[in-house]
Structures are given as C-alpha cells and as structure tokens.
Amino acid sequence: MRHSLPRLGLLAAATLLVAGCSVLKEDKIDYKSAQRGSTLDVPPDLTQLSRENRYNVPGAAVSASSFEAARPAAATVGTAASKIGDVRIERAGNQRWLVVDRPANQLWGPVRDFWQENGFLLELDQETLGIMETDWAENRAKIPQDFIRSALGKIFDSLYSTGERDKFRTRLERNAAGGTEIFVTHRGMVEVYSTKEKDQTVWQPRPADPELEAEFLRRMMVKLGVAENEAKALSASAPVATSAKVATVNNVPVVQFNDNFDRAWRRVGLSLDRTGFTVEDRNRTEGTYFVRYVEPMKQTEKPGFISRMFGASTPESKPERYRVVVRSNDNSTTVSVLNAQGQPDASPSAQRIIKVLADDLR
C-alpha cells in the first residue's frame, strides 16, 4: 500500500538541504498512468452508459434529432469562437470545446492516440457511444526537480508523488454539417491526512480544473493539425462572463442564465460530465438529461485502498437518479431538477445539484 504523503516525509530532511535547488514545473504536463496493464476499478457513478442510439457517433445510423442536438449555433450571448483551418474553439464562461469540420469516424483514432501519447490508459473506449475516459494518472511534472531526486535517479523515482490524480473524459458528438464537437472534462482526487497523527491518508475529490481542460484542448488542436502558435492564440481568448445564478420558481430551486437552447443544452451536458454525474440517457426533444448522482462519501471508517484511491461508494452514498431539464425562451434558459418519477424536487440533494451546476456554468 502506497502513502505518498508519508513517503515524501522520509525525504523531507534531505530535501531541505537543497531547497534552493528545487524547481516546480508548474507550466508543464507529464502524466503517468496510476497503473499499467489491467484497467482499474471505477466507482459505481462512473460505469458505462447504456447503449442507446442517441449516443451513436461513427459508423451507425443517427436520427435527425441527434444531428439537431449537436447543431453548431451562431455566436450568442456569453460565447466566443475562433477558428483555424477546419478547427475552432468555442468558449462560454469557464467552459471550452472544439468544433472540427471532419466526421467523427476520422477523429476517433487520432483522439485515442492523443491520450495514449500523453501518458494515459483508457478505461472507457466506446466509439459507438462517442465517449472515451482515461484512467487515474499523476502529473509528474508537479514534482520538484531537486538535487536529491536527480542524484537518486529513476530507480527511486516511485518514492516521489504529488498526492494528486487526474482523470479525463472525452465526448464526441456529430453536428448537422457533418463535423464533430469534442468536449474534454477533468476530474481530480487529492490525498490528505485522515488522522491527527498523520499516519493515515485518504483520497478525496478536488475541484475540476478548467485551465487543465483548456491545455489539453490546445494540445489536441495541435494533434489535429493546428500549428503550435496558432493553437496558443486560439486557446488564449479572453473569457466571456455569463450570468448563471440560482433562483426559485414555484418553490423549487433552478439555475438561470442567458443562452439559447442549442448552446445551453451543450453547456449543461458539459457541466454534468465535469462535475461527476453519469448521464444514463438523454432526450433533447424534451430537453432532459437522465442522470445518476452520488452524494460525497462520508469517512466513517478507514476505507480500503481502492475506495481511498478512486472514491468507491459506501452504503451512505447510494446512487440516486434524477432528471435535469433544460428549458429555453429565446436567449434565456432555466435548468431544473426533477426526481426519478419526473416530479419537481426541492430536496437537499436537488438543491446541491443546482448549486453545483450554477457554479460550473458561471
């Protein structure tokens, strides 16, 4: 069993001797999969989506409503877009995604290669669903490159750890013009001490990092043929403020923001991916996402390694099903949460879901 925080403590004294030589490569990315070979177990809220025609990307029949669901909208309130060749990046608030004028079946292979080239294994690789998801991996570039580490060399490299792990989900959706929209979302875990004596650690979720998502989108643009300097220029576009806020309608909490339905539908889907929901089904015609949500795990006892590392659920964090509904009137959108039976939900869990979505949509 590995405990990165205690392990680093063994080297603390030696590191202090050469603290002036330590340089943290904060501006670089160098990921290494947490496990090579067989894939890792994933918590119940990250299981595969059901096979459903609306998710089909390459090589399968797609309904007219599916094409409409991914129809590229013109620039609207709260959105900025730039383009080089057949690739453009769109941005709304802290969310970004790529729009590529190529069919999805021509992009799946390069996108898969992209993640593998960046040090990840793929736990989920479902071309028919249009979704791939990496394993948990560590950004080794965050580890200080001090004299001691250089002297020990790669033989003892495993003694060092950042105490952080990252996972990325990529979703590809066709649009009406025959192109593809690519969404990348990040999830993070951090290892923290669980006792006053600092002799035990647990893994707990940390906030999604929009800038990390943006960096991988920039690198993906380069993979798809955009020059390095052009990709940097596109990804550096200034954020456009959005007006997402929590309100109350008929005694039920909702999220309200300025955007038309096409863009709002995409943005809500991206937020659900980013904030840890599992989208089991969707019906764009009705503006409904069918999601599974797990309450944050309460640490009532020392969990096992897999539970600590990957947030496996306990009986206290049983998945609950909800419907997230998107309704728009011109450029004004309201997002509400219904229970599994389709009734308005004002429960504490529904209120937390609304707050999570509002925070991410800003």
* Positive or negative: CA dihedral 68, 72, 74, 79: positive
CA dihedral 93, 46, 37, 138 (to 10 degrees): 40
Distance set, CA 52 to CA 60, 124, 168, 283 (Å): 11, 16, 22, 11
Phi then psi for 125, rounded to 5 degrees?
-140, 80
Per-residue DSSP letter, 27: T
Q: Determine the pLDDT at residue 242.
A: 64
Indicate whether 323 pLDDT > 70: yes
Provide, rounded to the nearest whole percent, the portion of the chain with pLDDT above 90.
33
* Inter-residue contact 164 to 206 (CB < 8 Å): yes
Q: Determine the pLDDT at residue 278.
A: 82
Per-residue DSSP letter, 143: S
User: Which residues 6+ apart lie within 8 Å of 104 measured at CB?
Assistant: 57, 58, 130, 172, 173, 174, 180
Q: Determine the pLDDT at residue 51.
A: 37
Q: Share the mean pLDDT of the chain.
A: 74
* Inter-residue contact 80 to 90 (CB < 8 Å): yes
Tens of pLDDT, residue by residue over 123-176, are 999 998 888 999 999 987 777 665 555 555 555 555 567 789 999 999 998 887
Q: Determine the pLDDT at residue 210.
A: 87
Q: Determine the pLDDT at residue 9.
A: 42
Tens of pLDDT, residue by residue over 227-275, are 999 888 888 765 565 678 999 998 899 999 998 898 899 899 989 988 8
Q: Determine the pLDDT at residue 151.
A: 54
Tens of pLDDT, residue by residue over 298-320, are 443 444 444 444 444 444 467 88
Averaged pLDDT for residues 95-111: 94
Indicate whether 179 pLDDT > 80: yes
Averaged pLDDT for residues 24-48: 52
Highest mean pLDDT pick, 39-53, 200-214, 287-301? 200-214
Distance set, CA 11 to CA 16, 139, 149, 164 (Å): 9, 20, 9, 18
Q: Determine the pLDDT at residue 90.
A: 87
Confidence of residue 30 (pLDDT cuts 50, 70, 90): confident
| Residue with the larger pLDDT of the pair 74 and 318 | 318
| Residue with the larger pLDDT of the pair 218 and 2 | 218
In angstroms, the CA 228 to CA 119 distance is 20
Indicate whether 279 pLDDT > 50: yes
| pTM recorded for the entire structure | 0.67
| Residue with the larger pLDDT of the pair 190 and 58 | 190
Q: What is the DSSP string of 237-299?
A: PPP-----EEEEETTEEEEEEE--HHHHHHHHHHHHHHTT-EEEEEETTTTEEEEEE-PPPP-
Q: Determine the pLDDT at residue 152.
A: 54
Highest mean pLDDT pick, 39-48, 303-312, 329-338? 329-338
Q: Determine the pLDDT at residue 114.
A: 97
User: Which residues 6+ apart lie within 8 Å of 316 measured at CB?
Assistant: 295, 297, 298, 300
Amino acid letter, residue 351: Q
Averaged pLDDT for residues 110-114: 96
Indicate whether 16 pLDDT > 60: no
